[in-house]
Amino acid sequence: MAFLKGIRISTFLFSGVLVYFAVHFFIGQQGVLSWHSYAQTADRLMAERDVLVKQRAELERKLARYRAGQVDSDYVEERAMSQLGLAGPDDIALSLPKTAVATPSSASSQTPNP
């Protein structure tokens, strides 16, 4: 009888340990049910990252206008006028394509010979 009592106790303890691990497998901090919320958080963070990458690309594009040797003088003038309050609400800013400027030496070489 004592032998059977020992088996019952060990079976009870084993069952308790098994239930403990089973509960943590499903409900625990790194359990199956938590995995779903981690996946949702990961999706949300990936979408936020995509938005931030687009914002960074836009800021880098704007910053390229101010780099030494490549400064867009019309853009700088437009920004300065708007920030200093010199541009009125009725002012219109037009962007013109950059064209090759004729230099005096190239203009004289293009004259026809008489």
106: in domain: no
| Averaged confidence pLDDT in the chain | 77
pLDDT digits (tens, 9 = 90+) for 58-92: 999 888 877 767 777 777 777 777 777 776 777 77
DSSP state of 22: H
109: in domain: no
Number of domains comprising the chain: 1
77: in domain: yes
Nearest to 70 by CA among 94, 98, 104, 95: 98
Q: Which domain holds residue 49?
A: 2-86
Does the structure show a pLDDT above 50 at 114? Answer: no
Does the structure show a pLDDT above 90 at 31? Answer: no
51: in domain: yes
Report the SS3 class of residue 12.
Answer: helix
Q: Please compute the mean of the pLDDT values over residues 38-42 and round it to a whole number.
A: 91
Amino acid 47: pLDDT: 97
91: in domain: no
Q: Which of 13-17, 42-46, 74-78 has the highest mean pLDDT?
A: 42-46
Q: Which of 5-19, 26-40, 41-55, 70-84 has the highest mean pLDDT?
A: 41-55
113: in domain: no
The string over 59-78, giving b where at least 16 C-beta atoms fall within 10 Å of a residue's C-beta and e elsewhere, is eeeeeeeeeeeeeeeeeeee
108: in domain: no
SS3 per-residue string spanning 33-90: HHHHHHHHHHHHHHHHHHHHHHHHHHHHHHHHHHCCCCCCHHHHHHHHHHHHCCCCCC
Report if pTM > 0.85: no
31: in domain: yes
